[in-house]
Amino acid sequence: MYGEMRTVEFSRIPPAPPPAPPPPPVRRGRRRLPWVLSGLLALLLLGGALYAVTPLRHPLPNPTVELTLPVSMTIPGTAPRLPWPRSGQAMISIDGLGTLGTSGGSKSLPIASVTKVMTAYVILTEHPLAVGAQGPKLTVSAEQAAAYPAEKARGESLVEVRAGEVITERQALQAVLLPSANNMARILAAWDAGSVAAFVEKMNATADRLGMSGTHYTDPSGLDPDTVSTARDQVVLASKAMALPAFAEIVEQKQATLPVAGTVKNYNELVGRNGVVGIKTGSTDEAGGCLVFAAVVNVGGRKLTIVGAVLGQPGADTPVQLDRVFAVTRSLLRSTVAALAVHTLVEAGEQVATVRGPLGTGTTINAAEKVDVVGWPGLQVRIDARIPAVPWRIAAGAEHGKLTVTAGGKPVGTALRTGTGMEPPSTWERIRHHR
């Protein structure tokens, strides 16, 4: 039938070995730069940082200031030409401004009763008077009174006196300065110094102290022609004397009343006209007509005192001599006043200085207001800009300093202000500028 059946024993077949585990995956690792290259890169980065930081380690330079105005200038225009006298000597000065001009040289000349300005000045400096005060009293001696007839016979300028007359210092000065009393000048001199000679020594010592190098006094009245001076010296003295309130008060009077002489008049007929406020006439054959004068005028709302001297004007006698010196003085005063004016030397907003800050920054310093001076063309003017150190940061329009303009001895000025604001450069600007 069918073939024979065989039984196969599978249990004897060994099991197959387990599969081997797969190999680990291959990872792509980062390739590291060699240590030399890494160090080089670090050095480069450090150098760049140091290069950028270097300008920041140094302080910013301080801003510098450069003035754009000159330190001095003259008032522009044609210098005035005054109508100086043809003979003698003259000088015009404006207190606080300086000398407007002179004529006739500097030779010492007789000055007649102009001498009494020094007599009164010495008396008032040694025996000061308040305005309106009478001061101490002095008594006319019998000898002084007895000299009056002979003095009158010589044609001297006098006031009548009597032995035993009591007169105050103020009244004695009125007698000396208004009717130009020679005898009262001598009486005052002896009262002050004990003798006329001793008083004359005081006069010359005072002249030396005031720098009146062309002046020499030999008597307190000026009758002696050896008493000499110059127009320049008398202007110096007049300015000093007019600074004494009692002196200025007396020479401005047109008349006064004295105990014995009664009412006396001022010989200076210019007083009270054209601003004239004094101060003293003089006339002798040797001196001619002489006048030292002061006038107060208004220029641009400002009061100025003109002081002048005119010496040696010719004439046959005192009336003619004084008429001529008065005429010369009136003409000089008119021309002087016409020459004086207000001049604007610095305009409001005008640049005074340039400020240069660090790395191209900067600003300007400008006048806050205009600066006007009173003067005349040709007058020398000094300009002084006081500008403190400018900080790196300052606002626009900030007040910073002061400008002073001095014409003669009188300063005027204005505040100074910055133009645009100024800021210090930023860190980036400093680094970029360093490149």
DSSP letter at 216 equals: B
Exactly one of 93, 103, 157, 180 is catalytic; name it: 180
| Residue 303 known to bind ligand | no
**Contact at 8 Å (CB) between 227 and 217?**
yes
**Contact at 8 Å (CB) between 374 and 344?**
no
Give the distance from CA 82 to its chain's centroid: 25
Closest alpha carbon to 281 in 341, 331, 334, 328:
328
Q: Examine the residue annotation and report whether 116 is marked as an active-site residue of this protein.
A: yes
Exactly one of 103, 113, 157, 221 is catalytic; name it: 113
CA-CA distance, 388 to 357, in Å (whole number)? 14
- State the Cα angle at 387 between 384 and 393, rounded to 5°: 160
- H helix runs in 252-368, sequence order: 318-339
**Sheet of strand 399-407, all strands in order from the earlier edge strand to the far edge:** 64-67, 351-356, 362-367, 410-418, 399-407, 380-386, 72-74
- H helix runs in 68-138, sequence order: 116-126
Exactly one of 93, 103, 116, 229 is catalytic; name it: 116
**Contact at 8 Å (CB) between 178 and 158?**
no
Give the distance from CA 412 to its chain's centroid: 7
> Cα separations (Å) of 29 from 25, 32, 127, 389?
12, 9, 115, 65
HSE on the CB side for 433, CA within 13 Å? 13
Q: What share of the chain is helix, strand, coil (3-state, %, to 5)?
A: 30, 30, 40
DSSP letter at 269 equals: T
Burial class (CB in 10 A: 0-12, 13-18, 19+), 220: buried
Give the distance from CA 85 to its chain's centroid: 31
CA-CA distance, 322 to 317, in Å (whole number)? 9
Number of Cβ within 10 Å of residue 335's Cβ equals: 17
CA-CA distance, 380 to 182, in Å (whole number)? 42
**Bridging pattern class, strands 137-139 and 109-110:** unpaired
Give residue 303's identity as a one-letter amino acid code.
K
Residue list, annotated binding site for substrate: 280
Show which residues are catalytic.
113, 116, 180
Residue list, annotated binding site: 280
